[in-house]
Structure 1
């Protein structure tokens, strides 16, 4: 999931092709449906992104009572309004009436705390839960921002690699060479510096053992001269999320697993392996869909369509992950030059699950 920031943004306003009383306010490459005449291009307003949870008083102020997602009708989710995809909320809350939003946009001020907006945390199914322990040596995963929110992460024509974004649950494995210790965690627990104690009934440990991930990590550590190796993969299948790719997360042998990233600590410094350095001959990788010059139209086109994980196009594709062909820092997101693009069909599908 992306980080949650509620910021002021300068808008570009477009006509709504199917509604006389509505317009489209653009933030980055996102568009949110707004009332016609509420904003003009160049105006500043607050943008509340998807997966944000709003307090009741703000929901009432914005006239959104009973219209948001979740059991409490308090979560922002992508919707289609009169045929147009609306992602996030554009507004000017009364609490910010005296704030210079143009200046706040330039400074990147985050208003989430002031407005009482929080990030939605998915529920954790029993199979993904378990007894945890402190894991100070665990190599963490990072949040990936949406390229539509931050379109300048990549330069036009920059060499990039696009892989399919698999709708499963992220599994973090860290191998410590000194004592051959193996830590296994989820994204949520890993962010807290916690690892799951080994349990044959736990989904992550079942996948790790089924694909012999620790042995691959040990060989990578020896080959790279690394003190620690982190292998990050997606565990998927029926019983994990609503998109199963023909795998069965409930069965001992049927769980799906695909690696999307590897990090290694070498000479005291952690680095991410390039796309061509991943252990493709030892572990299944997420499908590579494109390698070539960066072009946003190509990215958005490949984010849609049918999945390729199963090889049978069983259901829709979640989206794509974009990364530089050569690992580099991005000042736009303050970290790795990596981003995602999500399929509109995925965002508005019925009965979707979002376990982390």
Structure 2
């Protein structure tokens, strides 16, 4: 899940192909459906992204009562309006009347707190939770930003690799070489600096034991001369999320695919190529393509059927984009990595979004 920022943005306004009274306001590569004539290209407005939870008074002000997602009808999610995908909300809230939105866009000012907008937190099923303990040495996973929000993360023609984004639950494992300690957590629990106490009932611990991930991490730490090694993977199957890839997590061997590796070597955290280090040792997320970065190519690969099962059982969640050579992004203020989520995934019915 991406970080939450509610910012002022310069708009590009496009014609809605199927509605005379509607238009499309483009922010980055996102498009939000707006009333015709509300904005012109070059105007500045506030963009509230998907997975935002809005306060009741703002929902009422925007005329969205009963129209948003969730049990309380207060969560922003992607929808199709007259056939066009609308992602996020473009608006000019009364609380910002008189504000210089152009200046705010230039400075990157975040209006989330002022507007009372918070990030939606997915529920955590019992099988994915449990007793947690402080884990200051746990290597955490990071939020991946959406390429549609930050389309300039990669330079045109920069060598990149696309891997399939699987719909499961992120499993974090940290191995400490000096003590042999293994810490396991989820992304959400790990972000709090906590690890899960091992039990047979916990999905993540069952997965790491079943796939021998601690032993792989130990060998990798010795090979790299690392103080700590983090292996990050997706746990999936029936009983985890609505997309199963033909696996079951209710009994037996849960589905698992590794997608990233980090290591602390000589006191410095480094991100490494999971495919290069783990091939033949652990299941990996599928690599879909590599070549010179091109936005349209990436967007095209985000759509279609999943490939992990080898049978195209259901839709593809999306793709993750990385440079072939790991690097820092000044635009993100973090490592250069981004995702694109498929339109079909965003608008599917009956989907689950557990942490």
Between 266-275 and 191-200, report the one with greater CA deviation.
266-275
Q: Is the Cα contact below 8 Å between 1:161 and 1:275 reproduced in 2?
A: no
Cα distance in 1 for partners of 2:138, 2:155 equals 32
Cα distance in 1 for partners of 2:59, 2:275 equals 47
Q: Is the Cα contact below 8 Å between 1:160 and 1:294 reproduced in 2?
A: yes
Q: What is the match of residue 81 of structure 2?
A: 81
RMSD: 0.6
Cα distance in 2 for partners of 1:320, 1:66 equals 32
The TM-score with structure 1 as length reference comes to: 0.99
Q: What is the match of residue 335 of structure 2?
A: 336
Residues 118/38 of structure 1: CA separation in 2 closer, same or farther (3 Å cut): same
The alpha carbon displacement at 1:191 in A equals 0.3
The alpha carbon displacement at 1:276 in A equals 4.8
Runs of 4+ in 1 over 4 A off after TM superposition: none
Cα distance in 2 for partners of 1:38, 1:275 equals 47
The C-alpha deviation readout for 1:119-163, integer Å capped at 9, x for no partner, is 000000010010000001100110000000100000010000100
The alpha carbon displacement at 1:281 in A equals 1.3
Cα distance in 2 for partners of 1:276, 1:209 equals 21
Q: What is the match of residue 11 of structure 1?
A: 11
Q: What is the match of residue 256 of structure 2?
A: 257
Structure 2: give runs of 5+ residues left out of the alignment.
none
Residues 175-254 of structure 1 correspond to what in structure 2 (within 5 A)? 175-253=175-253
Q: Is the Cα contact below 8 Å between 2:8 and 2:105 reproduced in 1?
A: yes
The C-alpha deviation readout for 1:275-331, integer Å capped at 9, x for no partner, is 553311100110000111111111011100000110100000000000010000001
Cα distance in 2 for partners of 1:277, 1:110 equals 39
Within the alignment, does 1:315 sit opposite 2:332 as a pair? Answer: no
Q: Secondary structure at the match of 2:278?
A: coil
Cα distance in 2 for partners of 1:87, 1:275 equals 31
The alpha carbon displacement at 1:332 in A equals 1.1
The alpha carbon displacement at 1:274 in A equals 2.6
Residues 126/276 of structure 1: CA separation in 2 closer, same or farther (3 Å cut): closer
Q: What is the match of residue 157 of structure 2?
A: 157
Q: What is the match of residue 40 of structure 1?
A: 40
Cα distance in 1 for partners of 2:222, 2:101 equals 53
Q: Is the Cα contact below 8 Å between 1:157 and 1:294 reproduced in 2?
A: yes
Cα distance in 1 for partners of 2:252, 2:129 equals 17
Q: What is the match of residue 116 of structure 1?
A: 116
Q: Is the Cα contact below 8 Å between 1:275 and 1:325 reproduced in 2?
A: no
Q: What is the match of residue 168 of structure 1?
A: 168
The C-alpha deviation readout for 1:62-121, integer Å capped at 9, x for no partner, is 000000000000000000000000000000000000210000001000000000000000
